[in-house]
Amino acid sequence: MSTTDFPQTGGSTDPYAQSQDTTSGPVFTVTGQDWDEVVAGVDPDASERIVVNMGPQHPSTHGVLRLILEIEGESVTEARCGIGYLHTGIEKNMEYRTWTQGVTFCTRMDYLAPIHYEAAYVLGVEKLLGITDQVPEKAQVLRVMMMEVNRISSHLVAIATGGMEIGALTVMTVGFRERELCLDVFEMFSGLRMNHAYVRPGGVALDVPEGGLDAVDRFVALMRKRLPELAALCNQNPIFKGRLKDVGYLDLAGCLALGVTGPALRSTGYDWDLRKKQPYSGYETYDFDVITRDEPDAYGRFRIRLDEMNESLRIVEQCVARLRTLEGAPVMVADKKIAWPSQLAVGPDGQGNSLEHIRHIMGESMEALIHHFKLVTEGFRVPAGQVYTSLESPRGELSCHLVSDGGTRPYRAHFRDPSFSNLQATAAMSEGGMLADVIVAIASIDPVMGGVDR
């Protein structure tokens, strides 16, 4: 009879179990005595503990996560994450697509923050191309506006699913109701509710649609009314607060040691936000505050997300004001060898080239048709080199490492996903707590497994 994971105590040799070291740890070969006595001699507490699988399932993770928990009664003594159930090979697939087509892959990683992933990738491509300063101002403003609407929609899902997991179904229905307003804005500006491929190397895919800015104004006004209702429903609710307070505690030292960023880090009081610390896309020109709290638990992270949505509305209002002064301005770089695809329009069939562009390439200019064909099928070349870009996604620090060999497709694309890093805190946040609090702790870091597994 053999068993693993029973360490010898006090450096003495168990008289009934000769041990040998293996790659999986000490192995004891039991030669006699009753099993209960052997276990008691090796680890007095082992008989009181059991290992359970929580999953693979969907505990507020927007994807498939497995938690391997060792429990003693209702207390968690050890917690480990099992990931990989949603692996899609996106990063490898991007090596076989053109630089522009890569946008349609990375937008599917963290599908609750697709605009941020598109932006992180595109900022890297533009830096390799050396066109960062050539991207039109209107395109940068549109990127910021869409990222902030995306931040609101992502935080709403985090709060909604977190509430659902603890039985607060009203929080869930309210959260998803407000998220629909965000998706309406996405659909109006990009033609799609998800997987937008809106941010493109050199700019954005589409100009502001007719009536789009008025629609965003109505969106902001309605969210200004609805968010206080969500806050009133939860902030001082004794049941909701009691369920989140002092659960999933992780202080600043723990966050820094584990590489945890986003609301979990800012709940410790540290104002780390890349929009302020390492500005991109013109964020340094916007007026907004970085939300922090001195409550490094699930309740503090919930309150930070709620307050961050209000700050995002402030930024969106500033974007709309700027866009009203940029009517008719371009949304793509002037270099036609990069500006793919040209002159998009949203028509009855969804998204495609404008009729004017089709007439030009099909009936007026053979050279334009050839250029369009080569640009779409082959893509543009990117100078050899590598680049690392970072931005602040709803879940924390999102980075993209791109390597080019001078060809028309990435030699290597790799993303530093905040959900992947933040999940390392699972053990620190859960061990020593109650089994029922594991879900709250996981929900408070809001991992999206599409980004974790990639």
What pLDDT, on a 0 to 100 scale, did the predictor assign at position 220? 92
Owner of token pair 């629909």: 180
Distance (Å, rounded) from C-alpha 26 to C-alpha 20? 6
What pLDDT, on a 0 to 100 scale, did the predictor assign at position 195? 87
Q: Choose between 341 and 302: higher pLDDT.
A: 302
* Nearest Cα residue to 182 out of 208, 159, 150, 206: 150
In a domain, 200, yes or no: yes
In a domain, 429, yes or no: no
Is pLDDT at 412 greater than 50 in this prediction? yes
What pLDDT, on a 0 to 100 scale, did the predictor assign at position 399? 93
| Range 236-249 average pLDDT | 83
Q: Which range, of 43-57, 245-259, 391-405, averages the lowest pLDDT?
A: 43-57
Say whether both 146 and 274 belong to one domain. Answer: yes
- What confidence tens digit (pLDDT) does each residue in 119-133 have? 999 999 999 988 888
The confidence band for 265, taking pLDDT boundaries of 50, 70 and 90, is very high
State the number of CA atoms in the 13 A half-sphere of 330 facing the CB.
Answer: 13
What pLDDT, on a 0 to 100 scale, did the predictor assign at position 32? 53
> DSSP letters of 291-316?
---S--SHHHHHHHHHHHHHHHHHHH
Say whether both 34 and 151 belong to one domain. Answer: no
For the chain, the first-to-last Cα distance in angstroms comes to 41
At residue 395, the 3 state secondary structure works out as coil
At residue 427, the 3 state secondary structure works out as helix
What pLDDT, on a 0 to 100 scale, did the predictor assign at position 362? 78
Say whether both 101 and 206 belong to one domain. Answer: yes
Phi, psi of 247, deg, nearest 5:
-105, 135
In a domain, 59, yes or no: no
State the total domains in the chain: 2
The confidence band for 446, taking pLDDT boundaries of 50, 70 and 90, is confident
Q: Give the length of the chain.
A: 454
State the number of CA atoms in the 13 A half-sphere of 21 facing the CB.
Answer: 0
E strand spans, 83-231: 199-200, 203-204
Say whether both 36 and 146 belong to one domain. Answer: no
Distance (Å, rounded) from C-alpha 445 to C-alpha 395? 7
CATH of the domain at 317: 1.10.645.10
Domain range enclosing 276: 90-239+270-340+379-418
**Mean pLDDT across the chain:** 83
Distance (Å, rounded) from C-alpha 46 to C-alpha 31? 19
Owner of token pair 């969907």: 58
Owner of token pair 């910021």: 144
Report DSSP state, residue 418.
H
Q: Any alpha helices (H) in 325-448, and if so which ranges?
A: 355-359, 366-377, 418-422, 426-430, 437-445
The confidence band for 12, taking pLDDT boundaries of 50, 70 and 90, is very low
pTM, to two decimals: 0.83
Say whether both 162 and 302 belong to one domain. Answer: yes
The confidence band for 4, taking pLDDT boundaries of 50, 70 and 90, is very low
The confidence band for 153, taking pLDDT boundaries of 50, 70 and 90, is very high
Say whether both 96 and 226 belong to one domain. Answer: yes
Q: Choose between 373 and 144: higher pLDDT.
A: 144
- What confidence tens digit (pLDDT) does each residue in 193-202 have? 888 888 988 8
